């Protein structure tokens, strides 16, 4: 084979570090958390930057080393570094977080759709519950038919539902200030840090850990870089910069226009668009932007719907962690029984919106549970990475994270702190029952994240394990 042939063959699978940065940005960045941080005004910069440094960066670099050395995702990493039962717990948490992720994501869809149809519906728990159930089960129907092209819909959603409306929001917000209007939130240097009113004043930062989660999934592409050691950190720093811009600027734009006390955590983005468009006499654009945001969210839901459950299915078939009923595939080769079972739980959670008086409170509680379940997986990943560096130092790795013990220590401490802080009711919901909040959050996070996989593991039978192919 000539050197030209070898060169051509080698370049086929390579991607540039800029392309990887953009792929990472598209999978992490979203306008959805903007209203949550807009409550803090200028302090939102600090509240986004802190978790980026102590969580996003360690997660990206550590998962890159693991992905470049061991294929098979988080199950392989944790089972190799610790043991198989903890590997199952890690992959379970990666799947289980989606059970609460969908209600919080679709709660955002419901409030956004309300602005298209009737803004008064945004505070209706019954409306929110109906939208969640209809959207989720429609997604299950689409996914169970093995429909292709969903990934293209989601990547297009980044442009249609994030970059375009986000840019419009920021530009109009700047024009709003440029015309001499006073910002709803103070923009002075003494507001760069959040006001300290006890631990509850910082609880909303937990939501930012979920905003940055998913970096371990992008780490699988580290082997597609020509020089991973130099290019992957570049890609991650560029992605982090882009993600921070997409998160921070729209949050600031919202804080300029909508007073914090009027913000809804689910409908805040549409509130801001509506207020800004009203200033310029173009409120007819509000429904159009709403449809763009909904399209992006639904596209993202479809790509997440089958992915984590498929990973859980493959491990369960090999090791017999789930009963045969949940391992069955339909005629399209899709794990329909897992999706339907997950949907029944999601439906019950959706109905909670109809019974919790404040939709924003329900949205926040489900976001916290989602984050805490996912953080259990990250805790295991950081410990496994340190163990693998010590027990298998000579194992081939395409990329080696610098100061891995320190990186994992920072990431582990930040993840543990975020998990514990999640049990503290935020100051915005101080009027509710602390006991009820703790019961729901602890029951959801510990029950779903630890108890359910423990029961599956303890009750498993040899017959659950798929016979190896002859």
Cα separation values, 413 from 51, 213, 351, 450, Å: 11, 16, 35, 20
Six-digit token string for 126: 């019954």
What mean pLDDT is predicted for residues 10-32? 73
What mean pLDDT is predicted for residues 273-277? 81
Instruction: Answer yes or no: is pLDDT of 435 > 90.
Output: no
Six-digit token string for 270: 């549409």
Of the listed ranges 40-44, 49-53, 149-153, 424-428, the one predicted with least confidence = 149-153
Higher pLDDT, 442 or 104: 442
**Could you tell me if 60 and 224 are in contact, meaning their C-beta atoms sit under 8 angstroms apart?**
no
What mean pLDDT is predicted for residues 65-90? 87
**What digits encode the pLDDT tens for the residues 204-248?**
566 677 678 777 766 667 777 788 777 877 888 888 888 889 889
**Could you tell me if 122 and 359 are in contact, meaning their C-beta atoms sit under 8 angstroms apart?**
yes
Mean residue pLDDT across the chain: 79
C-alpha–C-alpha distance, residues 27 and 49, integer Å: 18
**Could you tell me if 111 and 264 are in contact, meaning their C-beta atoms sit under 8 angstroms apart?**
yes
**Could you tell me if 73 and 87 are in contact, meaning their C-beta atoms sit under 8 angstroms apart?**
no
pLDDT the model gives residue 11: 43
Q: Helices marked H in 82-203 — which ranges?
A: 84-117, 125-144, 150-158, 164-178
**Percent of the chain with pLDDT strictly greater than 70:** 84
pTM of the predicted protein model: 0.78
pLDDT the model gives residue 218: 66
**Could you tell me if 354 and 125 are in contact, meaning their C-beta atoms sit under 8 angstroms apart?**
yes
HSE on the CB side for 117, CA within 13 Å? 13
Six-digit token string for 102: 């969908």
**What digits encode the pLDDT tens for the residues 111-166?**
888 888 887 887 787 888 888 889 888 888 877 776 555 555 555 666 777 788 88
**Could you tell me if 187 and 41 are in contact, meaning their C-beta atoms sit under 8 angstroms apart?**
yes
Q: Which residue has the tokens 């989660």?
A: 213
C-alpha–C-alpha distance, residues 175 and 163, integer Å: 18
**Could you tell me if 376 and 448 are in contact, meaning their C-beta atoms sit under 8 angstroms apart?**
no
C-alpha–C-alpha distance, residues 274 and 268, integer Å: 10
- DSSP per position, 37-89: HHTTGGGHHHHHHHHIIIIIHHHHHHHHHHHHH--SHHHHHHHHHT-HHHHHH
First and final CA of the chain: distance in angstroms? 36
Residue 9 pLDDT grade (very low, low, confident, very high; cuts 50, 70, 90): very low
**What digits encode the pLDDT tens for the residues 166-203?**
888 889 888 888 888 888 777 777 777 766 655 655 66
Q: Which residue has the tokens 């050395």?
A: 69
Provide φ and ψ at 47, rounded to 5°: -70, -20
Q: Coil, strand, or helix at residue 330?
A: coil
C-alpha–C-alpha distance, residues 347 and 213, integer Å: 24
Cα separation values, 362 from 61, 80, 214, Å: 34, 38, 23
Long-range contacts of 399-405 (CB under 8 A, 24+ apart): 399/64, 399/65, 399/68, 399/222, 399/228, 399/229, 399/232, 400/65, 400/229, 401/61, 401/62, 401/64, 401/65, 402/61, 404/62, 404/65
């Amino acid at each position: 084979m000539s050197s030209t042939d070898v060169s051509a063959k080698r370049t086929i699978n390579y991607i540039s570090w800029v392309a990887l940065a953009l792929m990472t940005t598209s999978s992490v960045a979203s306008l959805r958390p903007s209203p949550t941080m807009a409550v803090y005004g200028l302090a939102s910069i600090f509240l986004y930057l802190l978790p980026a440094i102590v969580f996003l960066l360690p997660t990206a670099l550590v998962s890159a080393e693991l992905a470049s050395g061991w294929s098979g995702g988080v199950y392989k990493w944790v089972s190799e570094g610790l043991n198989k039962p903890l590997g199952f717990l890690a992959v379970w948490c990666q799947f289980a977080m989606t059970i609460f992720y969908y209600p919080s994501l679709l709660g955002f869809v419901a409030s956004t759709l309300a602005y298209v149809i009737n803004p008064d519906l945004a505070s209706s728990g019954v409306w929110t519950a109906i939208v969640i159930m209809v959207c989720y089960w429609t997604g299950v129907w689409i996914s169970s038919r093995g429909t292709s092209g969903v990934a293209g819909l989601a990547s297009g959603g980044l442009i249609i539902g994030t970059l375009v409306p986000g840019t419009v929001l920021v530009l109009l917000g700047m024009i709003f200030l440029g015309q001499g209007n006073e910002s709803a939130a103070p923009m002075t240097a003494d507001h760069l840090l959040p006001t300290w009113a006890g631990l509850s004043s910082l609880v909303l930062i937990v939501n930012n850990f979920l905003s940055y989660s998913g970096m371990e999934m992008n780490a699988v592409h580290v082997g597609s870089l020509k020089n991973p050691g130099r290019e992957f950190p570049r890609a991650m720093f560029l992605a982090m910069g882009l993600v921070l811009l997409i998160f921070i600027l729209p949050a600031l734009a919202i804080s300029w226009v909508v007073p914090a006390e009027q913000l809804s955590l689910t409908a805040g983005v549409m509130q801001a668009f509506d207020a800004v468009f009203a200033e310029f006499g173009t409120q007819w654009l509000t429904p159009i932007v709403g449809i763009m945001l909904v399209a992006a969210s639904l596209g993202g839901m479809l790509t997440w719907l089958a992915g984590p459950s498929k990973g859980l299915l493959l491990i369960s078939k090999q090791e017999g962690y789930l009963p045969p009923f949940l391992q069955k595939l339909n005629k399209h080769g899709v794990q329909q029984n897992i999706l339907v079972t997950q949907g029944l739980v999601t439906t019950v959670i959706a109905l909670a919106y109809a019974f919790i008086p404040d939709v924003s409170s329900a949205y926040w509680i489900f976001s916290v549970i989602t984050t805490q379940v996912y953080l259990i997986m990250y805790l295991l990943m950081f410990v496994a990475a340190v163990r693998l560096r010590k027990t298998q130092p000579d194992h081939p790795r395409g990329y080696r994270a610098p100061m891995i013990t320190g990186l994992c220590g920072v990431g582990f401490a930040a993840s543990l702190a975020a998990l514990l802080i999640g049990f503290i009711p935020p100051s915005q919901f101080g009027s509710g029952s602390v006991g009820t909040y703790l019961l729901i959050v602890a029951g959801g996070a510990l029950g779903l994240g630890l108890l359910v996989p423990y029961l599956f593991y303890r009750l498993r039978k040899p017959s659950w394990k798929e016979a190896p192919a002859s």
